[in-house]
Amino acid sequence: MKTGTNRLFFIDAMRAWAILMMLQGHFIDGLLNPVFRDGNNLVFNTWQYFRGITAPVFFTVSGFIFTFLLIRVPETGLANPRVKKGIRRGLQLLLIGYLLRMNLFGLFTGTIYDSFYLVDVLHCIGLSILAVIGLYLFSANKSKIVFPILLLGITLLLFVFEPIYKQWSFSFLPYAIANYFTKANGSVFTIIPWLGYATIGGFLSVLFTRYKNFKHLYPTAITLAASLGFLLIFYSSKGFIWLYETTSIGLFALIEQNNYLFIRLGDVFVIFAIFMILRKFMSNVTVLKIGASTLTIYVVHFIILYGSFTGLGLYRFFNHSLTPAIVVPGALTFMFACTFLSLRYKTHEQQIKDNINAIVQTGKNQTLELYKISTPILKEIAIKIRVFIIRVLGLAKN
């Protein structure tokens, strides 16, 4: 295999790990009875902490992969073929995000439920891709350092000022748009601050690409990622307290009070370091297939767990009602089922698309044929109606 391809194996493996952790996290969180959510239980606390790592890793890896594909081609600006593909991908994710929240029974009665307008992972990743493309196009004709500075700068701005803008209600915006910025209406994720993880992923991708031929790339990257990760996890809060005491700027104290963004970023760096250390073991075909099928797995899990389109998902029937003895093996089964169905779909994806296209084409052909056959008849009927109206009007006039 080519070296350039090998260097992405650990990223695909990270994405596979993140999607599997998301599956079990959603299953257990949605179905576990609240009486078993014991904050003093070491096992539950450990699970809850690692569950919180999943989304930051997933957003960061998504930003890394897209930016890597975007900047690796020789073309720049609008001439870059990845720009059009990225725009199409971003819009596709937004569309799928809304489709998964659609209820067909509601549509039949002419009702669109408020949950349709809520924002989730796919919406945010779709917008993040479009945002990265915008930054890329803006900096296309500028110095090479502008693009990575913009990516890093947006992450820092979103993370540092989160205590301020999280208090805003964005009530001046239409409901559907406000949901991208505030959780007040029930959105699970919002574009701010989660765009920050995608842009830091893009920044890391630029560094990786710029220094891909460096002899000691991985030893250096592992050391830096692990060191920065542990610093953010264990010392970022103390650092903000020091900044507050030194500058008397209240924002730093507010960050320290709920310093989840920087701590989770530290977790992401540590996960990067671990997967880079184990990169030689990340070329398993199944793992890579899972990493390349995250969208399909997400869609399948959403349908089974939350009942997209019908509302008849596991969440409706077992919402916060299961014991650990049931929910843990259930989560493992759920992970396996979603992954298996998704990989089976990917195996036959082209065949399924061809069949759908054939059905659509057949429908078009039959519609055209019906139109050709019915046109003379419709013309004759139209003439007779016209003659009848003229006669009626003529009689009325007389």
Sequence-distant (6+) residues with CB within 8 A of 122 are: 93, 94, 96, 97, 100, 295, 298
pLDDT at position 104 is 78
Q: Which residues pair with 32 in a beta bridge?
A: 322
* Band (356; pLDDT cuts 50, 70, 90): low
Cα distances (Å, whole numbers) of residue 156 to 66, 78, 179, 194, 230: 20, 27, 22, 12, 18
pLDDT for 355 equals 67
Helix axes 217-247, 250-257, angle to 10 degrees: 120
Beta-bridge partners for 352 = none
Query: pLDDT category, 184, cuts 50, 70, 90?
Result: confident
Q: What is the residue-averaged pLDDT of the chain?
A: 88
Q: Which of 5, 48, 19, 83 is nearest to 335 (CA)?
A: 19
pLDDT at 328: 94
What residues does each domain of the chain span? 3-362, 363-398
Position with higher pLDDT, 379 vs 125: 125
pLDDT digits (tens, 9 = 90+) for 237-255: 999 999 999 999 999 999 9
Find out whether 331 and 28 touch, Cβ atoms under 8 Å: yes
Please state the rounded mean pLDDT for residues 346-370. Answer: 71
Average pLDDT over residues 43-68: 93
* Cβ atoms of residues 311 and 101 within 8 Å: no
Give the model's pLDDT for residue 363: 67
Residues 6+ apart with CB under 8 A from 249: 243
Higher pLDDT: 131 or 102? It is: 131
pLDDT band at 103 (very low <50, low <70, confident <90, very high): confident
pLDDT digits (tens, 9 = 90+) for 304-339: 999 888 878 899 899 999 999 999 999 999 999 999
- Overall size of the chain counted in residues: 398
Q: Give the pLDDT confidence score for residue 3 in this predicted structure.
A: 40
